[in-house]
Structure 1
Amino acid sequence: MANPSRLRAAALTTSWALLAVLLAGCGGGGHGDLRTQKLDWEDCPTPSQAEGGGSPPSPLPGGGTWQCATMQAPLDWSRPKGDTIGIALIRAKASGDPSRRIGSLVFNFGGPGGSGVTTLPAFGEDYAALRTRYDLVSFDPRGVGRSKPVTCESDAQLDAYFQQDATPDDSTERTQLIDRTKQFNAACDKHSETVLPHVRTTDAARDMDLMRQVLGDDKLHYFGISYGTELGGVYAHLFPKNVGRAVFDGVVDPTQDPEQSALGQARGFQLALDNFARDCTSKTTDCPIGDTPQDVKNRIATLLDDLEKKPIPGILPRQLTQTAATNGIAQSLYSKDFWEYLTEGLQQAYDGDGRILMLLSDSMNGRSENGEYSNITAANVAINCADEKPRYTTADVEQRLPEFRAASPLFGDYLAWGMVSCTGWAVPGAADHPDVSAPGAAPILVVGNTGDPATPYEGARKMVDALGKGVAVELTYKGQGHGAYDSKNKCVQGAVNSYLLDGKVPKTGTVCS
């Protein structure tokens, strides 16, 4: 959470959305011979630093292997015959009867800025049922991972960037935050000037339609999670007739501007914290971090206040600051599976040891144990700032702070000040929110989670309405964490699998718990 723009939904530029619509109406000519390119599928290489490093993906159960390739797409979709950009892809071929294969199922796991090439193999076993009839495919969107990654600052500079005070209390601290933001953004422009104007969500959506054709599919079958639901909605708007079976999980509210999105997330993370505190204190054994839900939250607030005055040792030589601790707490609220680590991390921090909370913070920021950063933060800022029209000032934030604090005493200040992340960005954004209206599209299954901190539940209904009458089918999961399918809830997975595998559309309004 040390870069709060990662917690915000992106918006789109009206001019580029209009341009994409115009190009879409020009038949297939815009793609030129790129539509007929042949992908050279090979064993996947070791993930790059920008993708997060690590080892090549392990073989799938049953002997399946992951294969990687690079697709060429226009760098500038307004000049489709001009320079190209390489889009890194990964796939696992369908495991079932070839005669029952439906096609490719393309995943985007969100961010924006997350590497699909590394994320899909990490969760590959969760989608084994879907692989019986689909090739599982994901990609590094332009500006991400191995797809001409946006780069900004060095690892040492990023360590300092993520240690900064992101909730300024006076004019001096406000000036420092703005100056540091401008410094980071200027570094992005210096090192990635060529790609920055071409990482909008509309660009990625057009890449996906080219991908559909290159993969040999008449329709795009799609599974979008978090920001991936926004990308899917934009795709459906631009190419409604090309939508196949599509699932949106952990749904972004496409009607909100960045301020509204940040405020919604403040409420969402506060709700998740409330649920965590209630869960801990309701257990038969004593909750080690508080006697009542309010006591748990009071102690966390005190810890953060103390860390602002005096950080504690984290992962040496770095210290756990108030910002890093807030970031680590937010990361742990993305999944109920992380709640035990939050409990342990808070216990440690109360005893003066900040290592677990810092590990959680590092995970959020894409920092590996060897101190190297992926480019998820750089890409996230680049995509958000290219998409989002508003440029907020310190006066804007100060005016709105009371509302943010009312929404979340813990996260309100942080998310409010995150609105200045695009200060001084080199590329203008031109719209408050994306257009996802998709009349005529095939049914899209929209899955909302009532306890989702990052994409609050209300966004699912807004997405349903925005897609248009007769397009979306809504399914509700009464659960915790970000998204629903990966909770392994049998009701959710059964409904999604039946739709994707057999085309059985669940009754709209279905509720799983």
Structure 2
Amino acid sequence: MKKSMIALLLCATAATACGTGTEPAAKKEAGRDTGTVAWSPCTDLTGADGKPMAPDPAVECGKVPVPLDYAKPSGDTIDLALIRVKATGDKLGSLVFNFGGPGGSGVDTLALARQAFAGLGSSYDLVSFDPRGVDRSAGVKCGGQIDKLLQMTGDGSDQLAKEFAAACEKDSAKVLPHVGTVNAAQDLDRLRVALGDDKLNYFGLSYGTHLGAVYATKFPGNVGRFVLDSAYDPSVTFEERAVIQATGFADAFDAFADDCVAQGCDLGKTPAAVQQTVEKLLDGLKTKPLKVGDRELTYGLAQLSIITPLYAKATWPILEQGAAAALKGDGAMLLTLADSYTGRKDDGTYSTMMTSLQAINCVDSAERPTKAETAAINEKVSKIFPILAADGASSACAHWPVEGTDDAKRIDATGSAPIMVIGGKGDPATPYQWAVSLTEKLKTGVLVTYEGEGHGAYLSGSTCITRAVDSYLLKGTMPGSGTTCPAA
């Protein structure tokens, strides 16, 4: 569930009328800025090659101040970092994106992948942001401890988890109690006002569906045209999430292996042989990491590199090529995949992706799994999909310095405009059943089913999904309940 942005960056290579009821305010003043954000050229964007991006006049950055603590609205503030791609035609308003995580930078993602949503940019300013606690928006820092976080397996992991949590408290004590999805939803409403829109038009992917659902619960009257793609049901427990996702990734790996064998696979002549080859590769890395320049491809990093391409069918060939190369002693491709997951930059530093993810997850749940409980969960995962198992791993939340609550798990958007919810039958990270249950919890959701593989139906290449989403966002025409789109 937590890495829709990875899929987005790697992939960015019969209806019934049902409008929102209210047109966005900006339509009345097409082409004019009606908000209060001071937009200016972006100066700190980084391209996919790790180098600074040249200024683009169509892309602007800005910021919006929001209360650090909503219980003290007149107290300290933090700035939310924003990015905007200006509409190319008559403007309906702004369309705000959250691409997933939690912990993903919306500023970086929209800058890199805006062409994937160019069809919507004819009528909307495409807007995204770094949520509170992420990168430019008071990003959670943990004393350079990400490498320790990535090593939380085996003996000593519980101590590593304690040290990691302590480092986060030391470096980010001010913001840690105030991250989380409920606060981010309140930020979204501040952003709506700053953009000059009467209603919030929103496109959430993966974790972004959680944020959108919480916003619709808190501000149902302010919901405009909402699309929640690759839906997540936040009511699940840590154990339920782990088991369901393990099943989803196991199914995705099976589909990858079947496809690989059908096309002539370097990893084995049968699907079972493909899985055995990958498991053998990982087992070998437990005791003998693979040298890649001055770095090492460890067991934990290799696990991430295997999981990452399973998010999208388009990246399955990268998994085959990377694993085949690693078997011959070249782990560079797999290490690059792992780095894309963890937010590691070319200079060896990291974005706050992983630290922000931990902080938000721990605040968004009152659960604090013990080491024994985590071990029991891992045992279940290992029986479903051994590639995803992490023997001896400890939950970072077990030692987190801030209490969590279940406020972000309560979803009920009664009174909102209709909300499009999209679920993919072959989605490994946010399995289809979550789209069904989230639709029910929203009360105003309309479920659209995608029969294909991958995480992020809009990015799958399905013309059926693209037409359904574009028709709704651009014309206000919601698909009929029960709409199903075939695999691309």
TM-score (norm 2): 0.89
Residue number in structure 2 paired with 1:14? none
Letter in 2 for 1:244: G
Tell me the alpha carbon deviations over residues 422-470 of structure 1, each in whole angstroms, 9 at most, x when there is no partner: 12111100228611211011011111111111111111001101101xx
Matched, 1:210 2:203: no
* 1:399 CA displacement: 3.0
Q: Which residue number in structure 2 is paired with residue 312 of structure 1? A: 290
Output the amino acid matched with 1:377.
M
Q: Does 1:463 align with 2:438?
A: yes
Distance 2:451 2:470 in 1: 18
- Indicate which of 75, 83, 88 corresponds to 2:81: 88
Deviation per CA, 1:38-75: give whole Å up to 9, x if none. Answer: 321100111389x996424663xxxx611111101111
Partner SS state of residue 69, structure 1: strand
Q: Does the CA contact (< 8 Å) of 2:157 and 2:392 recur in 1?
A: no
The amino acid across from 2:478 in the alignment is: V
* CA distance in 1 between partners of 2:283 and 2:46 (Å): 38
Question: Counterpart in 2 of 1:199?
Answer: 179
360-369 vs 399-408, which deviates more? 399-408
Query: What RMSD, in angstroms, separates the aligned Cα atoms of the two structures?
Result: 2.1
| Among candidates 488, 509, 512, match of residue 461 of structure 2 | 488
The answer to whether 1:140 aligns with 2:130 is yes
- Distance in 1 separating the partners of 2:417 and 2:321: 46
Per-residue deviation, residues 319-370 of structure 1 (Å, max 9, x unmatched): 2121111110011111222211111111111112211111111111101122
Q: 2:428 aligns with which of 434, 437, 453?
A: 453
Matches of 1:341 and 1:6, distance apart in 2: 17
Number of residue pairs matched? 457
- Amino acid in structure 2 at the alignment position of 1:501: L
Cα separation, 2, equivalents of 1:358 and 1:44:
30
Q: What is the letter of the counterpart of residue 273 of structure 1? A: F
Conservation of the 8 A alpha-carbon contact between 2:148 and 2:164: no
Residue 324, structure 1, aligned to residue 301, structure 2: yes
Per the alignment, residue 12 of structure 2 pairs with: none
Instruction: Give the drift of 1:153.
Output: 2.6
Unaligned runs of 5+ in 2: 5-33
Contact map agreement 1:48 1:145 (CA 8 A) in 2: no
Q: Which moved more, 1:249-258 or 1:416-425?
A: 416-425
Deviation at 1:500, TM superposition (A): 0.3
**Preserved CA contact (<8 Å) 1:258 1:419:** no
Partner of 1:79: 72
Q: Deviations over 1:116-143 (max 9, x none)?
A: 1111121211211111111111101011
Letter in 2 for 1:200: G
Are residues 1:47 and 2:49 paired?
no
Counterpart Cα distance in 2 of 1:402 and 1:410: 12
Distance 2:316 2:35 in 1: 46
SS at structure 2 position matched to 1:479: strand
Give the gaps of 5 or more residues in structure 1. 8-35
Q: 1:241 aligns with which of 221, 231, 236?
A: 221
Correspondence for 1:22? none
Between stretches 78-87 and 317-326, larger displacement belongs to 317-326
Aligned position for 1:187:
167
Distance change (3 Å), C-alpha of 1:229 and 1:194: same
Which residue in the other structure is 1:361 paired with?
338
Change (3 A) 1:367 1:480: same
Q: Are the structure 2 counterparts of residues 337 and 417 from structure 1 closer, same or farther at C-alpha, using a change threshold of 3 Å? A: farther
Q: Are 1:245 and 1:444, in contact at CA under 8 Å, matched by a contact in 2? A: yes
Per the normalisation by structure 1, the TM-score is 0.85
1:438 is matched with which residue: 413, 416, 440? 413
Compared CA separation, residues 161 and 205, structure 1 to 2 (3 A): closer
Kindly provide the CA deviation profile for residues 286-329 of structure 1, in whole angstroms up to 9, marking residues without a partner as x: 2111010011001111111111122222x322221211111100
Mapped contact 1:52–1:374 kept (Cα < 8 A): no
CA distance in 2, matches of 1:273, 1:399: 23
3-state SS, counterpart of residue 333 of structure 1: helix
Of 195, 200, 204, which residue of structure 2 is paired with 1:220?
Answer: 200
* Aligned mates of 2:452, 2:412 — CA distance in 1: 28
Q: 1:12 matched to which residue of 2?
A: none
Distance in 2 separating the partners of 1:58 and 1:454: 34
Residue type matched to 1:346 in 2?
A: A
Change (3 A) 1:74 1:401: closer
Q: Is the 8 A contact 2:158 2:393 kept in 1?
A: no
Judged with a 3 Å threshold, the aligned counterparts in structure 2 of structure 1 residues 435 and 333 are, in CA distance, closer, same or farther, namely same
The residue aligned with 1:374 is 351
Aligned equivalents of 2:375, 2:67: Cα separation in 1: 42
Query: Is the counterpart of residue 158 in structure 1 residue 146 in structure 2?
Result: yes
Structure 1 position 212, deviation (Å):
0.7
Q: Secondary structure at the match of 2:426?
A: coil
What CA distance in whole angstroms lies between the structure 2 residues aligned with 1:410 and 1:358? 16
Matching residue's letter, 2:102 = P
Question: Which aligned pairs between 1:98-109 and structure 2 lie closer than 5 A?
Answer: 101-109=91-99
Are 2:66 and 1:66 aligned?
no
1:76: Cα distance to partner? 0.4
- How far apart are the structure 2 equivalents of 1:265 and 1:398? 17
Q: Give the alignment partner of residue 479 of structure 1, picking from 427, 442, 452.
A: 452
Q: Matched residues in 2 for 1:406 and 1:379: separation?
A: 30
Q: Aligned partners of 1:37, 1:129: CA distance in 2, in Å?
A: 23
Sort the Cα spacing of 1:417 and 1:510 in 2 relative to 1 into closer, same or farther, 3 A.
farther
Cα deviation per residue 1:237-269 (whole Å; 9 max; x = unaligned)?
Answer: 000111000000111122212221121111111
Task: Pick which of 495-504 and 304-313 moved more.
Answer: 304-313
Q: Is the contact between residue 52 and residue 373 of structure 1 (CA under 8 Å) also seen in structure 2?
A: no
Contact kept, 8 Å, 2:95 with 2:125, in 1: the verdict is yes
User: 1:232, CA displacement in angstroms?
Assistant: 0.2
CA separation in 1, counterparts of 2:275 and 2:83? 42
Which residue does the alignment assign to 2:16? none
- In 2, Cα distance between equivalents of 1:80 and 1:48: 34
User: How far 1:386 sits from its partner (Å)?
Assistant: 1.2
Secondary structure at the counterpart of residue 409 of structure 2 = coil
Matches within 5 A, 1:492-503: 492-503=465-476
SS, match of residue 222 in structure 1: strand
The range that moved more, 232-241 or 251-260, is 251-260
